Structure 1
Amino acid sequence: MNDSDTNRPEKLVRYESLDDLPAAPRLSAAFKGMTDEEIERRAAEDPDAGLVPPGFWDGAEIVEPEGTEQITLRLPRRVLSHFRATGKGYQSRISAVLASYVDARRKTG
């Protein structure tokens, strides 16, 4: 086993659609027993909670993500070591660097 194997989950599960996902766990009795005032107080204390300002979504566009394709790619060891040392998501960072290169080349030529 090498270092890259230690970050992998024991069992990878894939679902064909959201409908195939198992049901979410039921709410606890303590959560169900919260008053409206308690819910509002906790929401006010949460820096990530808040009202969405009117018109926030008016200019939103739906952007479909670009597809990916699985390939086998040989990279110099020093390049792979550099990206692996940056931690989880290193393959996405390699992809981002390559995409940035492609975008730059399109602009110049």
Structure 2
Amino acid sequence: MSKRLAYPTPEEDADIQAAAADDPDTIPDLDEALATGQVRRVGRPKSAIVKQAVSIRLDQDILDHYRGTGAGWQTRLNEDLRRLLKDSAA
């Protein structure tokens, strides 16, 4: 059995639009509402440190080790690489 979407008739759509316009909680311009702080985006806040997604090939034992440490393994790998970079510069 296929499911079909039921679209409102033009009259029903006009009623819906009118009801939305009368609703005091309706935000007519989302860009303006975001800019003025009336609403906020949901999700992780933007970090001051911008990271870039890359593809890298690692030996299986290295990957197994870091993944075996649980959630956050990529952060720990990044921290270890940063420490190596700092140590090599000294």
| TM-score between both structures, scaled by the size of structure 2 | 0.48
Larger helix percent: 2
Larger Rg: 2
| TM-score between both structures, scaled by the size of structure 1 | 0.40
